[in-house]
Amino acid sequence: LDLATRYKRLGVNLSHNFSVSARRSIFDFDRQVNGSERNRKSNIRRGWKMSNSANRKIFDELKVNARYSYSADDFGKLIVDTGAQLLEVDNADHSIALGMTYSPSAVFTASVNTTYRLDRQWEHTYVNLREDRNLLRRNEHRNFGSTIRYNPSSVTSLSLNGSRSRQQSGT
């Protein structure tokens, strides 16, 4: 399922996207061949994503934009008898982006943008019918970029791009 809307309110262009997905793999003789639920091969993967963005022209020369997105998914063994799921791994990913573009004339444009992203993954273990959730991975990304473009004619142009990124991974 995938839904999207776009509209304009008070000079702001807004968009919203949302999607949900699920995929099951059921093996016919899983219960008879693999008696223990931990050894089952039938599985299920579920996920959902959403994204929201806003763009606005403040003056004729200045445009600003913002975006937030989130995605989550999980994977686990599917117990066909009861329809239950024993989760093995789940992921969550947040992302925020902000940007601004300044165009005082048709030949000159300057822009800056920044992005922050947090991506985490957990594993699930089960002991005596109790679920434990342990952080496997945590990645944090930061990026800052700027661009200057000068196009005095259709033959001549100059672009300067610069960016700084930082990524921190671990648990």
Is residue 171 pLDDT above 70, yes or no?
no
Closest CA to 160 of 112, 125, 89: 112
Residue 105 sits at φ, ψ, to 5 deg, of: -145, 175
Residue 40 corresponds to which amino acid?
Answer: R
What pTM was computed for the model?
Answer: 0.79
Tens digits of residue pLDDT in 129-170:
788 999 999 999 999 999 999 998 888 899 999 999 988 876
Q: What digits encode the pLDDT tens for the residues 70-86?
A: 999 999 888 777 777 88
Closest C-alpha to 68, from 86, 58, 54: 54
- DSSP type of residue 11: T
> Which pLDDT tens digit goes with each residue over 10-68?
899 999 999 999 988 888 776 667 667 667 778 889 999 999 999 999 988 999 999 99
The pLDDT mean for the chain works out to 89
